[in-house]
Amino acid sequence: MAAAQFNLQAQSAYKIQDYASAPKIDGVELINIKRFNDDGGSFIELSRLTQGMTEHFKDFEAKQINYSEMDPGVIKAFHLHSKQTDVWFVPPSGKMLVLLVDVRKGSKSENVVMRLVLGDGNARLLRIPPGVAHGVKNIAPVSGSIIYFVDQHFDSDPKRGDEGRLAWDFAGKDVWEITRG
């Protein structure tokens, strides 16, 4: 069978879709956790703690647990910590686009950008190590929430705190767009 010929407009726009695995950032972990469903709803055990140590991330000691709500379409980015590790959970009923950028000088994955969706029917924990800039966009049509564990206590004093920022478009404005096609 002869291959189809494309018109000039289609030829100039044509690309082969890349199905290769997206690049990974060293130290970022995504763990599937169990969601128990029955005819009345569901239950998710986020983690078991023993003296602040989590069962999923053996070297992570939870010192604070936070809850954040976001309106539809809102972008909160980029947060950056030099010492703090975050572990994020988006409930399955939400849908958040998470962007991670490795800005650690000399890292094996320096400058790698990762995009992933949390929530969207899944129950997963995301570990974000220090030096990995992280941001989130609520891509659901309703308000969404994030529950996150951190291994440092928040301190609003800039001399003691570890809550840095990079511009929301640090990795480019287009990284926040929904992939189409």
Q: How do residues 97-106 score in pLDDT, each as one tens digit?
A: 999 999 999 9
CA distances from 102 to 18, 82, 113, 137, 144 (A): 22, 12, 7, 18, 25
What is the residue-level pLDDT of the chain in tens, covering all 181 positions? 887 788 788 888 888 777 777 789 999 999 999 998 888 888 998 998 899 899 899 899 999 999 999 999 999 999 999 999 999 999 999 999 999 999 999 999 999 999 999 999 999 999 999 999 999 999 999 999 999 999 999 888 888 888 899 999 999 999 999 987 6
**Burial profile 77-102: b = 16 or more Cβ within 10 angstroms, e = fewer:** bbbbbeebbbbbbbbbebbbbbbbbb
Q: What domains lie within the chain, and their CATH numbers?
A: 21-153 (2.60.120.10)
Q: Centre a 10 Å sphere on the Cβ of residue 127 and count the other Cβ atoms it contains.
A: 19
Q: What is the DSSP string of 73-131?
A: T-EEEEEE-SS--EEEE--TT-EEEEEEEE--TT-TTTT-EEEEEEETT--EEEEE-TT
